Structure 1
């Protein structure tokens, strides 16, 4: 597999749960090679309706086109421990520096009387739905369900690529996954002088990210041969591995740094990342039988090693998200 290109993998045999055969083996082998190379790949044959994605794109643009005062009726400061709501461009930090994007933080919709919500469990609760446009709530929830199903399919392929049972991750971590969903808008208006990136260099925290990006472009991936573009490919989604999968595979499958360039296209850029993470209370552990990973802190973007982590996934995640919105983290994630 050329290291400077991200492969396109057909999920059809995995989605249809085909019996062992050449098509299934090819899909599993393609996933393994992509995860060994750089942990980024496109997926097709995913079964997520184009019409649903297109409708969410349209509704998202309508939301972001509103004046700031309308968008700020549902700020993240009102989301409390559920960590939901809207933030302005420049309001989110990556490695301590502001990104030039605005967004809506969303997730699994839980009612106020749900036991986890009543217990004050961070990152669990109702979403803060904007007043407009009409249909956004229903479309987001339908998209979230469909996209989570795609992530489950990919994780089955990853398990098979490691010679594990197809339901390995589901049985241990994702029977009730933590779903964190974002709608991001990268404004076409010029960024402040102090802002250098749409999103700065980072790795994702959890198991798997499924990303829709519109036709604007801007995503870059740090492969062993340097930074390469991950341009939009019609009908596909980008998948990338997170730090917890890196940890579970002892560094065999790597979470790879990526970033987004400033948007100078003249048109706002929309993206939908879904972070498909272990259950909040799960304790991630290395997969037995894999060689121990070397200490990789010297080569990581943040100078940290995910292989030293211990405790629940929630413990780990709360330490991370508090750095993205420091003031909010200090106020609600005590």
Structure 2
């Protein structure tokens, strides 16, 4: 892990090779970067924000009509404040889990493959259409960014699409962080220190702030930047690059005194895709002792589905028992 003091801003309107060089530098130094001129419609983002606020302002009984226990193996739906764990501790947030909308006759749904299926859409007018439109727009952006990521590593622009993301696993979250009742406490966190699991996270955050990224010697704020997304790499890209690109720990604490909303979309390898080191990668010395979870991503062998299920089952242990381990 390197020492850095700020998160760089990358303008996607620049020449693609220049963008690739900037992304490479960001991934080697901090694992995080902002993007501007990304092309995702501002009006669509505004609709998503208004509808999300409307949903989370409803009472608990209303929101629990779309609770995750009703989503089955698709792992979709609502969870209340404290319902998600990080390193075994409840997060000070509530959320709505979503993903690629698949019909009942889709082969992976018929085969009961976890994390695949239909979403549980709250019955707010326009919510379903806005969510699906937003997910499509940011997924397309994800494909564009992975082309840049390929170029940044000296690979072809279509390398990741050919080998990992022709059918990406897309998971989308809408999170609401209420004001932290103990803003000075180091015991409570909106979400505790963690790394993301897959390839690339594309985060829309509001103007409240609270996101922090771990540098070698201190935590660095990632404050809101107007009309931007925050991007960060996940464990699988760390593994693929042999540690050249690090999945950097980050956390959230809402000390704004206001309700904070964030919208991460996880653009990840296909569920059944075996994740291997890239041809160019030389695995660095095992870094498990430096990692927040004391686990080596470089020792992992298997598909992305194997990896993500091993992680998600720790986040929602009750669902793991009731859904994944329940026999038909």
Normalized against structure 2, the TM-score is what?
Answer: 0.95
> Paired residues, what number?
323
Residue of structure 2 in register with 1:105 after alignment: 97
**Pairing partner for 1:314 from 292, 305, 315:** 305
Q: d(CA) in 2 for partners of 1:39 and 1:51? A: 29
CA contact (8 A) 2:205 2:229 kept: yes
SS of 1:285's equivalent in the other structure is coil
Q: d(CA) in 1 for partners of 2:221 and 2:209? A: 8
Residue of structure 1 in register with 2:61 after alignment: 69
1:227-266 mapped onto 2 (5 Å cutoff): 227-261=219-253, 263-266=254-257
SS of 1:266's equivalent in the other structure is coil
Q: d(CA) in 2 for partners of 1:302 and 1:258? A: 13
Q: d(CA) in 2 for partners of 1:119 and 1:227? A: 43
CA contact (8 A) 1:4 1:225 kept: no
CA contact (8 A) 2:92 2:180 kept: no
Alpha-carbon spacing, 1:331–1:194, altered in 2? closer, same or farther (3 Å): farther
Residues 288-328 of structure 1, C-alpha deviation per residue, up to 9 Å, x if partnerless? Answer: 13222210001000000000001111111111100000011
Residue of structure 1 in register with 2:173 after alignment: 182
Q: Is 1:326 paired with 2:326?
A: no
Give the alignment's Cα RMSD to 1 decimal: 1.6
SS of 2:207's equivalent in the other structure is coil
Residue of structure 2 in register with 1:18 after alignment: none
Q: Is 1:267 paired with 2:258?
A: yes
SS of 2:255's equivalent in the other structure is coil
Q: d(CA) in 2 for partners of 1:59 and 1:191? A: 28
How many Å apart are 1:195 and its aligned residue?
A: 5.7
Residue of structure 2 in register with 1:165 after alignment: 156
Residue of structure 2 in register with 1:16 after alignment: none
Residue of structure 2 in register with 1:290 after alignment: 281
Residue of structure 2 in register with 1:9 after alignment: 10
Q: Is 1:118 paired with 2:119?
A: no
Residue of structure 1 in register with 2:204 after alignment: 212
Q: d(CA) in 2 for partners of 1:313 and 1:127? A: 21
Q: Is 1:58 paired with 2:59?
A: no
Residue of structure 2 in register with 1:88 after alignment: 80
How many Å apart are 1:194 and its aligned residue?
A: 10
How many Å apart are 1:189 and its aligned residue?
A: 6.3
**Pairing partner for 1:141 from 132, 149, 152:** 132
How many Å apart are 1:113 and its aligned residue?
A: 1.5
Q: d(CA) in 2 for partners of 1:226 and 1:321? A: 28
Residue of structure 2 in register with 1:33 after alignment: 25
Normalized against structure 1, the TM-score is what?
Answer: 0.94
Q: d(CA) in 2 for partners of 1:4 and 1:68? A: 40
Instruction: Give every structure 1 segment of 4 or more consecutive aligned residues whose post-TM-superposition deviation is greater than 6 Å.
Output: 191-194
Residue of structure 2 in register with 1:19 after alignment: none
Q: d(CA) in 2 for partners of 1:91 and 1:233? A: 29
How many Å apart are 1:130 and its aligned residue?
A: 1.1
Q: d(CA) in 1 for partners of 2:235 and 2:47? A: 31
CA contact (8 A) 1:89 1:102 kept: yes
Unaligned runs of 5+ in 2: none
Residue of structure 1 in register with 2:195 after alignment: 203
